[in-house]
């Protein structure tokens, strides 16, 4: 991908990765509050989630920054066998080799900066990192919502076509389950998530 206009894309590792964790926590809470995730996040949960990510094998974050150095988007990844068992175990049961599988944790970009190629740049950077570290495939999970979900906004477009264009295929019959609250102080709700996978 060429220049993305409004933002600069910066791969982060080591101390730079650690320094970006608070920004990533804020972005996850803000972006995932919207449909289809409807995640009512807390900074306390985010801290433990992101510490786990930062310590995972081959952990990687790519950040989108404005000219002023403000982080307005992030995408993450790591080896899947060092990820939450909720994501690694269904793939293992489906017969995939975990040590050669890279897992994309999330892509989050503030709405004002979307539609300018940053999502593609996030994939490019994470795929390059995974290939450079010898991984044979990459995958990620996406929440499943029924088409008639009451909170689906009018005009909502799923990202499936984007992911297919990036050569990711949905794995039939393989589902992860991950819980998060959808209301402040509310109970943890179990969410089914589909796998999307690409062989390199």
Ligand X SMILES: CC(C)(COP(=O)(O)OP(=O)(O)OC[C@H]1O[C@@H](n2cnc3c(N)ncnc32)[C@H](O)[C@@H]1OP(=O)(O)O)[C@@H](O)C(=O)NCCC(=O)NCCS
> Applying CB under 6 A, does 181 fall inside the site for ligand X?
no
Binds ligand X (CB under 6 A): choice among 48, 157, 187, 190:
157
Please state, in angstroms and rounded to a whole number, the distance separating the CA atoms of residues 112 and 7.
Answer: 11
64 bridge partner residues: 9, 73
**77 Cβ neighbours under 8 A, 6+ residues apart:** 58, 59, 60, 102, 103, 104, 105, 126, 129, 130, 138
> Applying CB under 6 A, does 194 fall inside the site for ligand X?
no
Binds ligand X (CB under 6 A): choice among 38, 50, 56, 142:
142
Binds ligand X (CB under 6 A): choice among 3, 5, 115, 186:
115
For residue 105, give the 3-state DSSP assignment.
Answer: strand
> Applying CB under 6 A, does 127 fall inside the site for ligand X?
no
The side-by-side arrangement of strands in the sheet containing 71-79 is 8-12, 60-65, 71-79, 101-109, 137-143, 188-199, 169-181
Which positions from 45 through 104 interact with ligand X, judged by CB under 6 A? none
> Applying CB under 6 A, does 130 fall inside the site for ligand X?
no
Binds ligand X (CB under 6 A): choice among 119, 126, 127, 176:
119
Binds ligand X (CB under 6 A): choice among 9, 24, 31, 63:
31
Footprint of ligand X on this chain (CB under 6 A)?
31, 106-109, 114-120, 142, 157, 159, 161-162, 165
């Amino acid at each position: 991908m060429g220049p993305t206009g409004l933002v600069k894309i910066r791969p982060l590792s080591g101390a730079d990765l650690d320094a970006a964790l608070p920004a990533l926590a804020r972005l996850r809470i803000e972006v995932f509050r919207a449909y289809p995730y409807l995640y009512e996040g807390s900074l306390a949960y985010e801290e433990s989630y992101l510490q786990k990510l930062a310590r995972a094998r081959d952990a990687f974050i790519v950040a989108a920054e404005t000219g002023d150095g403000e982080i307005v988007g992030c995408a993450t990844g790591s080896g899947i066998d060092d990820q939450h068992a909720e994501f690694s175990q269904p793939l293992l049961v489906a017969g995939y080799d975990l040590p050669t599988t890279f897992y994309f944790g999330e892509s989050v970009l503030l709405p004002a900066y979307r539609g300018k190629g940053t999502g593609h740049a996030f994939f490019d950077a994470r795929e390059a990192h995974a290939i450079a570290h010898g991984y044979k495939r990459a995958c990620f999970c996406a929440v499943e919502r029924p088409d008639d979900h009451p909170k689906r906004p009018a005009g909502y477009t799923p990202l499936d076509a984007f992911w297919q264009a990036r050569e990711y295929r949905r794995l039939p019959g393989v589902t992860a389950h991950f819980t998060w609250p959808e209301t402040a102080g509310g109970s943890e709700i179990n969410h089914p998530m589909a796998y999307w996978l690409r062989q390199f």
